[in-house]
Structure formats: structure tokens, C-alpha cells
Amino acid sequence: MSGKEIRRSMPLFPIGTVMQLTELTARQIRYYEEHQLISPARTEGNRRLFSLNDIDRLLEIKDLIDQGINMAGIKQLFLVKEQQSNMMEQQTEKAKPDLTNEQLRKLLRNELMHSGRLNRSSLRQGDISRFFH
């Protein structure tokens, strides 16, 4: 279902809330945007509005920075991750129909998670969504 994706990308949170949720400073958050690690939406009046996805991403960024990775590295990681998730989509589409999409997705995700440390953190998604029902 893609309604989930829509909900998760809905711009809801002002920077103040995001600061508390992520324990990042406004400066840090804006800096990461400047380096195109996130692209929060804007209100009519130009104030940033963040989605759940944005917040997940910020928590990921925090992790990666703790691991000593710099902006360029993180950007690259996100690119690779996106490619992979596209690959997964393709694989899933032409999959044998005796496995449900759900099952297949799990298999592929699992595979990726256990192949090379690059993906560990980038696929460990859903940090913030734990806050929600």
C-alpha cells in the first residue's frame, strides 16, 4: 500500500518540534539541508515543515555522523540506498507469484541487511514512526 508512503511524507512538523525529537540544533538541521541530505517542505511563509520521513532521515544522519562519516559520505550512502530500494522494487515486481510481495520484500531486505555493513544503518528505518500508533 502506498497510502503509508503518503502519510510518512506529509509535511507536519516545524523545526522546533524536530529539534526536540531528534536532539539536533536548528543550525545542524539547516546545515544538513544546505548539503541536500534532506529537503523539508515549506509553508507559504517559508518556514520549514518536516515529515516523518524527514525525521527518520535526520536520526539516520545523526547515527552516521556519530560513526565519523561526513556530509559527502552520507549523501553518497543515501544515493546508494535509494538505488538499492529501486532494485528491490524491480525484483519484487517480476517475482514469482507464489510468494506474496510482503514475503519477498522481507527476504530481499534481510539479504541486504546481512551483506556488507553499508546497509545496516541505512535500512534500519522507522526510528521515529515508533512514536505513532
Partner DNA sequence: AATCTTATGTTAGATTTTCTAACATGGTTT
Partner DNA sequence: AAACCATGTTAGAAAATCTAACATAAGATT
Which chain residues interact with DNA by CB under 7 A? 14-17, 19, 25-28, 30-32, 35, 43-48, 65, 70-72
Measured from the CB atom, is 66 or 93 closer to DNA? Answer: 66
Return the one option of DNA, its own copies, none that residue 96 interacts with (CB less than 5 to 8 A, by type): none
Contacts 24+ apart (CB under 8 A), 81-86: 81/119, 81/122, 81/123, 84/112, 84/119
Burial of 123 (0-12, 13-18, 19+ CB in 10 A): middle
Nearest approach in angstroms of CB 84 to its own copies is: 21
Nearest approach in angstroms of CB 31 to its own copies is: 23
Nearest approach in angstroms of CB 50 to its own copies is: 11
Which residues form the interface with its own copies (CB under 8 A)?
A: 4, 7-8, 10, 12-14, 16-17, 21, 43, 49, 52, 126, 129-133
12-42: string of b/e by CB count within 10 Å (b at 16+)?
Answer: ebebeebbebbebeeebbeebbeeebbebee
